[in-house]
Every structure is written in C-alpha cells, then in structure tokens.
Structure 1
Amino acid sequence: MPHPSISNYFISLDEAKKLSKSIKIPIKEEKVKIEDSYNRILSQDIFSMVNDPPFDNSSMDGYAVIYSDTINATEENPVELEIIDFISAGIVSDKEIKSGYASKIMTGAPIPKGADSIIMIEKTKSSNGKVLLFCPSFPNYIRLKGENLTKNELILEKGTFLTPHEIGLLATSGHHIISVVKKLKITIISTGDELISPGMEISTGQIYESNSYVLEGLIKQIGHIPLRKKSIPDSIEKLREELDQASLNSDLIITSGGVSMGDLDLVRKIMETEGNILFWRIKIKPGSPPLFGFWKDIPLFGLPGNPVSSSVVFQMLIDPWIKSITNAKGPNKKIIKAKLTEKIKIKKDFLVFVRVIVENNGKEMIAYTKTHQGSGNLRSLSVSNGLAIIYPDSKYDIGSTVDIYLI
C-alpha cells in the first residue's frame, strides 16, 4: 500500500537507481602527483607525451647482428662474428653493424645502426674478440620504437579509476602531475540506543556498532573520504544536530538504522518532517527499507540498521550513484555465472541477493551457501565471495544457472 506522503514508495532497485542518478552534485577537480593518485578518478583524458619505447632496443642480453649473417648457424656449424662494441642500457653506440660483425648488447640498450636482430647470449660462445652463434638470430627480440605507445596517443580516458598499473602507465608516458576528481567527503552516522563502540565494556541489551566500519571501508575502496561519526542514541534532537553538522562539511550523508516503520525509526521520521524524501523502501532482500533524499540540500541515503542490509544496499545503490556523479569507470565488480548446488527460495516481486561461496569444482563454477541468510549475520558476508542474484518470480532449483556478483 503506498505511503501517503511519499510518491516513490516501495519501488524496484532499477527505479531507485534511476531516481538517485537523476540527482547531481557539483564535482570539483584537483591536480595531484602520480604517486598520490592511487584509487583516484581521472577528470581529464590522458595522452602519451612520448613514444614507448622511445627507440628500438634489445629485449635480451645478447648480440646485435645482421640476420642474414646468422641464418645458417647451427650447433654443428656455428657462425663466427667479430665483436666491435659493448652496449649497455642508456648508451648509444656510434659503431654501425656491418656484415661479419656483432655488438654485445644488454637488455634495454638501443639497437646500433645496421643491426636487425638479436641472438641471446645463451646461444653463443665468445673468446678473443670473436663470438660463435649456434642458431639464427631473432628479429622479434628487438622492441620497436612506439610499439607500446605512440606520442599523443589517448592512453587513459576521463573517469578511469587509477590502480597501480594505470599509475605505472602514467609514469611511462611522461606524466608527473595529473587532474583528478576531488574526493567526496561522505559522513556516516549510525543510530540506535543499543549501539556502543568496539573496545567499550558491553552490557545486556547492547551490541557493538559495526556498520560504520563496513561503510567506511566500502567508501575508501572507491576512492573517497569517509567521515565516520560515533554512533548516536535514538534522539531526534541529537540526530538533527548531527545531520546539521554533516550538511556543513559533507558532499553526501549516509545514515545507518532508523529507516523502517518502528516508533524509534527516527531517520525516516525526521526526513519526512524536516527533510525531503525522493523515495523510501526498495523491493530487494536483504535491505528493503532504505530511503534517499536531501537534508539541507545535501543528498542523504538512509540505510537499514542490519549489517548485511546496510552493506548490500551500499553496493547495489550508493556505489553506482557515486560512480555516476563522478563519471568513474571503476572499480567494477564482476558478474559471473555459476550453477546452484541447492534450491533457493524466491520472494515474490523482490530481487534477492543470496550470500554464496562460488568456486570451480573441476568441471564448472558452482555456488552454495555457507551460513544462514539472516540480515544481521555479518559473518555470512565475511565467509562468502559472491551474491547470487535471484530475480523476481523465477525458479531456482539445484543445477539452475545464476548470476553471481563477486564481492
């Protein structure tokens, strides 16, 4: 039954994504050194400043030779050449290779004029200024100028999420300072009278607060700044104070707990009366109660208090929204297919995410559950490596093929 004051009530995950992605916030950029760019998002296309390699060079320790001199070389009838130079990496030889001659060359050293191939040192024997070749040389052991990158080539697109390999590519292409998306500041507020911080002495009726730590890690994984606050009790006044403070120094607010239909679900209540709700409740399991709206013009996602629900909603809803507004093309989680080894119950009209272990049994990829699927069972996420996506109104028996979202 629709909620009387909220137009987008109990909608599908796709509808929730569409509605949230229609909301944009100002995204700034800044310049950083490449050594400080790990997990950052490029805000501009990157073009190579150089050719890579910048010159023809040897991919082996050996001898630079003329291929036609070596074509008939065998173990029984080696070819003998005169050594005229020794070329190490960083040295440019001024001696041209002519028929009957060779230059000893190290990996990465520039190819001397006249040479068109390399023979590895293991296939030779040298003495008294001569070298015996026991097989033909190899033209493909020369790395050609620009075979990896050409100058002014587009190498990384705007929105690229920078991992160590992309950072290495930036260095290879000559870049030292780059433009990146300024990290979003995301405040995390957990609510509930029962919550206490890890390390405190626990009493009957209390639980250790964990959601903010999970959310903090998920935010860091995608390259932004979590501002994790100490959990607050179920108090409208305290909640209002924390939300007001967060609105002054945050690009996004994420709350945990207080969004369902109970008397003390205060996030939902204060957002109804003092905030602006775009949607509330989504047809997914676990995690159906979330809301999305604004607190003083700052976007706010209200997540369920159950740990699994909180994590799943972040991964399926908030993560795509953050990537959308920052134009980020990663990091991307993979979806693979696997066969169920057990029957999975469906939930009519709901998209269900089942925590599973997915592995190769030697014949095919299989998926199975390890622990119970309660939304308060955070261990079920820790021991699983995937979420089986159970689509509404489908049938999932033993042997059914399912999509697995790898976590």
Structure 2
Amino acid sequence: MVDWSGGNQGAAKPQADAIWACIARCGVVEDAVYLRNRQLAEAWLMDVIRAERAAGRRVLLGFDFPFGYPAGFGAALTGSDDPFALWDWFEARVEDEPRANNRFDLAGEINQRFGGKGPFWGNALKRDIAGLPRTKVGYNSPFAARREAEARATGAFTLWQMSGVGSVGGQAMMGLPVLARLRRHFAPDVSVWPFEPLDAPIALVEVWPSLTVGPAAEGWIKDQWQVHDLARQFAALAPARLAQMLDVPANPEGWIFGLGHEAELRGDATPLRNDCFALPPGVNWTPVDDALADLQARLTPVVAIETLPVAQALDRVLAADVRAARSNPPLPNTAVDGYGFAGGRSAGPHRLPLVAAQAAAGLRLDMAVPAGSAVRILTGAALPEGVDTVILQEDVEVLDGAVQFNGPIKAGANTRKAGEDVMTGDVVAARGRRLTAADLAILSAVGVPDVKTYAPLRVGVLSTGDELVEAGQAAAAGQIFDANRPMLMGLIRKLGHVPVDLGQVADDRTALRGRLDMAAGQADVILTSGGASAGDEDHVSALLNEAGAMALWRIAIKPGRPLALGMWNGTPVFGLPGNPVAAMVCTLVFGAPALAQMAGADWAEPQGFDLPAAFEKRKKPGRREYLRARVRDGRVEVFASEGSGRISGLAWADGLVELPDGALHVRPGDPVRYIPWGGFGL
C-alpha cells in the first residue's frame, strides 16, 4: 500500500505529507517505509516487485491517487478513451526532479486548451501561471467536478484541485507517469484494476485510505498509520472475499477499492436485518436440526474487530487467518546435548577431532566445522555450517581434543529440520478460532506480534415476571427466587462471552420496553427468560411483535419448545422459556452455537459420544429429547425425574443424553448419545 505525494522532496527524517509504503506479506504486516521522493519510491517499488516475483508470489499494489479522470477528459486531451493513453500522455510531459516538478505549469497548459478557466485550479507557486487560477474564482470546467467514485465516497476531493489540503490533482499527475513505467517495465505480467481483468501476477489497484482507515494510533504519523492499517485490512481478507470486492464492472474513470464495503474493511460490526428471524408462512413445529441450520445460515458476527498483542489475546476469537512470520524452528538445530559433525557413521569405532568452539542456543556459531571434525553443541543450538548429525554426549568419550564413539549413527540423528513444525506463511490459527494458551505459544514462536480479533460478545441477561424475587429477599407465598439469571450468566461466562446483568423486570409492558431500550445500548445480544410464548402475560413476545421483528419458533424439543427470536433497536433478542431446565437446555442446544457465531467464532457443534445406557426409556415420535445425565462406571445414568421443574437435576448431572426425533425404546446396555457439559463448550 502506497501513500503518494505530489510535492517536492521531503526531509531526511520521516514526516507527514510525504511518500509512505507498507508491505503485508503472507498475512504479516511489516513496518511502514518512508520514501522521501518519487524517484526513491519508484526504485523501491521496482525492487519489491522483482523480489516478490522471484519468490513466486503474486503482488497487489495499492496507490492512493485516482487512476482515471472524469468522463470525456482523456478523449479531449489525447483523442482516445483509453485510460492508458492518458497515462502515457502525462508520462511524456511530466518533468520531475526531487526538488522541483512542472505539475502547475502542465495544469496551466491543459487549461489553455479548454479556454483557460479550467478544469484545473490551485496555483501554489509565487509566480503566476497562465491558465491556472489560484482559486476557483472565475473557474469554469468543461468536465464533471468528480468521477462517479468520488461522488459516492463521502469526503473525497476533486481531481482538478492542484494545491491546498486534499490536492489530489497534483498527486495523480505525478503518480500516473510512475504507473505507466511500472506497467511497461513488467508487461505482460501487469493488470490494472478496474480497466483490465486481474489475470496477471501483478495488480495495480486504486485505494483511498480515508475510506476505511481511522485516526492514527498514538505515536504514528498519519500517512504511516494509513498505509499500515490499509495493508492490514487487505491482508485480513480471505482470498475469495478479496476477489469478490475486486469484481466490479470495467470503468474508464477508475474506481476506489472498498466502496460499498467500508464497514467490513474497518471491522465494524455488521448488524443483523430486522427480519432476520422471520419464518415463512405455514411453519408450525420445526425439527431441532432445521432450527439449528436456519440459525447458522441467518447469523453473522455482530461485534467489532480490533487488533491486540498476542499476549493479550487469550480467549479472543480470530477475525482473520494468522500466518507464520517465520518458520519454526527457523534454523536446523539439535534436540540433545552432544557433539555435531557431518554425515552418519558406520558400525565400529570412530575418532573425530574437536574444533575449539561451542554451539549454544542463541546466535548461530559463526564458523564452519571442517569435514571429519566435530563441535560441542548444546540442546536447541542452531546447527553450524558443516553439521547435520549430533551424537549424545553420553555416547562419546572426549580424549586428547577429540571425541571417540562406536557407530553406527544415521545422518541427521538427534536434529530438527528448519520449519519441520511450521513453515513461513503457513496458517497457524484460522479465522473463527477462539485462542487458547497453546495458540499463544505457537503464534509467538513464529514471530506473530499481534492478531486481528473480534471484540468480546456482550450478552445481556434479563429475567421477567411478577413472581420473581432475588435470592435472599423476602418472598411472598406465590413468589419464587430467580434461578435463571445467575444460571444464564454463568453459562455465558463459561461459553467465553461477557455477561451483562440486566436484572429483573415485572410483567409491565412499559417497564419492559424501557429495560430493553437500555439493554440494546449495553449488550450485543439479549437473552430473556419468561414471557416468550403467546399468552396474555408473555410481554417479551408482545413487544417484539409490536416492533415488527418477532418470530416464535415452535421447536420440536423437550424440554423447551417455544423460542422467541427477534430484534430490538437492532439488537438480537433470544426469548428463552421461563422454566430453568428448559432455559438451560435451550441455551446449550441453540444459544451456545448461535452466540459463538455472533461472536465471530465457528459454529459450535456439540461434541458427544455413544455410551451404554444404565436406564430404560420409551419415547414417542415427534420431538428431540434431552435428559439430564451423568456417567458412572462407563454407563450413562439419567435423573430420576424428567419434570422440568426439578432444578436439582441440573446440578446432579454432568451432561445430557440426546434422544433422536423418532420413536425409541432404550434398554439398559443400548448405546445412547451422551454430551458432557464440556461438549457444549462449558
């Protein structure tokens, strides 16, 4: 990614409003490079392209100036609509030295061809230039003020402006000749977007950092930050998604990459549609598998993307694949303490003179070990030149400056090859993975300093009902203590999300509306329990219906059945049953994978296995059933009562037995599917 400049040579010390470039290679963003003038920048670009092509890599170069002009200008100036004819026209006429160029004079000459009052304006020199006004006073352009791309990109400047803040005209005039030379030098291996199909190994693409890059991070120069963050945005895109964004109609004016995809490139949260959960007419009872498939198809991440140092990324969900910045191990090394030499040795006694050096972990020994000699080498040390085999120190005798041992020993023994664990550029952690401590180890080992992750999913938990009081408060005869909210908040935390306590609200529609309004500003997702069916006091369902974003999913499941799904002020709402057993089962079966996907993680299939039953059970067809269960002596027991009011069964159990939709008669010893709590991600 290149931030261009139309001005004269910058200072030796890195500064703003100069040329900055940044490379993302194999998914790793490197340090931005300061280039003080266009001559140095062009030579640097030539070298980069040659090196990348020599390494067999494709190259995409993004430049932050327009590749074309408003319709009609090229044809009026060159006699051709071909945008490359305009590139060549500028290249033939632009005079460019580090401390001076003729961009203002050339703009004046062009204006005089069209009456002397436009299209260019903005003379920044102390001397007057015929045909180039200093301001737009009396300005009259025969061409449109902006390309279609600028008209759609809020805040984009006009190409006709040659001086002042946003002087894109000068950047383009001084940049197009460079592009013309790059295109000619590397022909036929260059394609220019969107003028040509991107079927060549080198692609030139127009970008505008301000479209998607936010304010500079502390300590960064703005241009330096922009190329760095833009390179990160490109590198984070899956190849297929990058191809989709580049798939735009050919346009002789050129186009700005990312138009229409700003939120995705920035990493903003993508809101779900208000009708996200709408069911087609006539849907009645939905099988569990169909409901899960529907949720998986409808849900997308609802949290923003941010970059974190690897050491701070534990339990975060990756928003992009992470590739190794270098191989692990980076060099061939020894797995043991011993003595290194070249080649294997046959059976029988051997004696090798020792060189006067020792190879230890850290810097590689800066000397070659002569053939027929050996070197003392310690565990983890890079193999010096001339060493490919190591013998354990316990298997040798050191005598008179030499090692003695009995063979045989194979060539390569007790050594590790460079990259035998991970090679540079390998994907070491895939998008959607929740990072573990082990992931942090491998990411650090391959030189990854930071990763692009999703922000933690904030899950609001709200209990509804007049009958509820907090544990420890005085409860009337008809009231119950709220068991759902502590349970659900614990589940949310164990699933890796951030629980947000939304408290309790009585069966009062106005109060509930106010609480939901508050919740939508505090949480990314809202879980409610109670009031999710279709009765007179089911206010959650009623309010979601009023908002026009409610679907009552009647799912063929026991315990459970009604699951109210909807949107409130753009925030998804999961209305769970009020019964604690049903609320927990629905959270594990439907909530766990749905929340994972909204958090940016992969859809989480519960991990279970078949074990012999220690119970008998007759089941009717029509519903998927989940029984509270635990494993003892390799067999699965189920809780004595299936009553969904028996909360003690949840604490008794270690998991659930899942019984299929059809009729079933389970006898002791029959295999049943058992899903431990850990299989749901707890």
Q: TM-score, normalised by structure 1?
A: 0.86
Alignment of 1:292-371 (within 5 A): 292-329=565-602, 333-358=606-631, 361=634, 366-371=635-640
Distance across 2 between alignment mates of 1:184 and 1:230: 18
Determine the structure 1 residue equivalent to 2:82: none
Question: What SS does the corresponding residue of 1:374 show, helix, strand or coil?
Answer: coil
Q: Distance in 2 between matches of 1:128 and 1:374?
A: 84
1:61 maps onto 2:337 in alignment: yes
Superposed, 1:366-377 pairs within 5 Å as 366-377=635-646
Q: Which of 51, 69, 79 lines up with 2:350 in the alignment? A: 79
Aligned partner of residue 345 in structure 1, secondary structure: strand
Say if 2:658 is the partner of 1:389.
Answer: yes
Q: Which has the higher helix share?
A: 2
Amino acid at match of 2:431: K
Structure 2 vs 1, CA of residues 132 and 57 (structure 1 numbering), >3 Å: closer, same or farther?
same
Post-superposition Cα deviations, 1:140-178, rounded to whole Å, max 9, x if no partner, equal 421111111111222222222211122222112211111
User: What does residue 91 of structure 2 align with?
Assistant: none
Alignment partner, residue 287 of structure 1: 560
In the alignment, structure 1 residue 14 sits paired with structure 2 residue 289: yes
Q: 2:597–2:603: 8 Å Cα contact kept in structure 1?
A: no
Following the alignment from structure 1 to structure 2, what is the Cα–Cα distance between the partners of residues 98 and 176? Answer: 38
CA deviation string 1:151-209 (max 9, x = no partner): 12222222222111222221122111111122332211012334333454666554432
Tell me the residue number matched to 2:381: 109
Measure the CA separation in 2 of the matches of 1:304 and 1:243. 17
Quote the residue 2:506 is aligned against: 233
- Give the Cα–Cα distance (whole angstroms) in 1 for the partners of residues 650 and 559 of structure 2: 12
Structure 1: 5+ residue stretches without partners: 1-5
2:308 to 32, 36, 39: 32
Say which SS state the counterpart of residue 151 (structure 1) adopts. coil
Write the distance in 2 (CA, Å) between the matches of 1:65 and 1:359: 56
- Cα shift at 1:312: 1.3
AA aligned to 1:17 is L
Asked if the contact 1:356/1:370 (under 8 Å) is kept, the reply is yes
Contact 1:65 1:137 in 2 (8 A): no
Taking a change above 3 Å as real, the CA distance of residues 270 and 144 of structure 1, as seen in their structure-2 partners, is same
Cα–Cα, structure 1 residues 371 and 102, in superposed 2: closer, same or farther, change >3 Å? farther
Verify the 8 A CA contact 1:222 1:331 in the aligned structure 2. no
Which stretch has the larger CA shift, 332-341 or 174-183? 332-341
Q: Shift of residue 303 of structure 1?
A: 0.4
Post-superposition CA distance 1:370-391 (Å, at most 9, x none): 4533323344333433322111
Q: Which residue of 2 aligns with 1:93?
A: 365
Alignment coverage as a number of residue pairs: 394
In 2, the alpha carbon distance for the partners of 1:125 and 1:210 equals 72
Deviates more, 1:257-266 or 1:186-195: 257-266
Structure 2 residue runs without a partner (length 5+) = 1-280, 678-682
Relative to structure 1, the CA distance from residue 277 to residue 345 in structure 2 (aligned partners, 3 Å threshold; closer, same or farther) is farther
Identity, % of aligned positions: 28
Change (3 A) 1:226 1:88: same
Distance 1:157 1:286 in 2: 36
- Which letter maps to 2:656? L
Larger Rg belongs to: 2
2:322 maps to which of 46, 52, 76: 46
Contact 1:160/1:330 (CA < 8 Å) preserved in 2? Answer: no
Q: Note the C-alpha offset of 1:9.
A: 4.3
Aligned residues of 1:29 and 1:43 also touching (Cα < 8 A):
yes
**Which amino acid is 2:346 matched to?**
I
Work out the CA distance in 2 between the residues paired with 1:104 and 1:201. 77
Residues 270-328 of structure 1: per-residue CA shift (max 9 Å, x gap): 33445532223321011122211222332211001222211211121122223334552
Contact kept, 8 Å, 1:190 with 1:232, in 2: the verdict is yes
Task: Say whether the 8 Å CA contact 1:52–1:172 is kept in structure 2.
Answer: yes
User: Corresponding residue for 1:406?
Assistant: 676
Select between 223-232 and 10-19 the one with higher mean Cα deviation: 10-19
Distance 2:338 2:643 in 1: 64
> Are the aligned partners of 1:8 and 1:279 in contact in 2 as well (CA < 8 Å)?
no
Partner of 1:158: 431
Pair 1:26–1:368, CA change in 2 (3 A): closer
Q: What is the letter of the counterpart of residue 179 of structure 1?
A: K
**Is the deviation greater in 324-333 or in 100-109?**
324-333
Match of 1:3 in 2: none
How far apart, CA to CA, are the structure 2 residues paired with 1:214 and 1:237? Answer: 26
Answer 1 or 2: higher relative contact order, Cα 8 Å, separation at least 6. Answer: 1
Q: Is the 8 A contact 2:533 2:552 kept in 1?
A: no
State the SS of the aligned residue for 2:528.
strand
Pick which of 185-194 and 79-88 moved more. Answer: 79-88
Q: What residue in structure 1 maps to residue 394 of structure 2?
A: 122
Secondary structure in 1 aligned to 2:531? Answer: coil
Q: What SS does structure 1 have at the residue aligned with 2:521?
A: helix
Matched residue type, 1:402: V
CA positional deviation for 1:134: 4.7
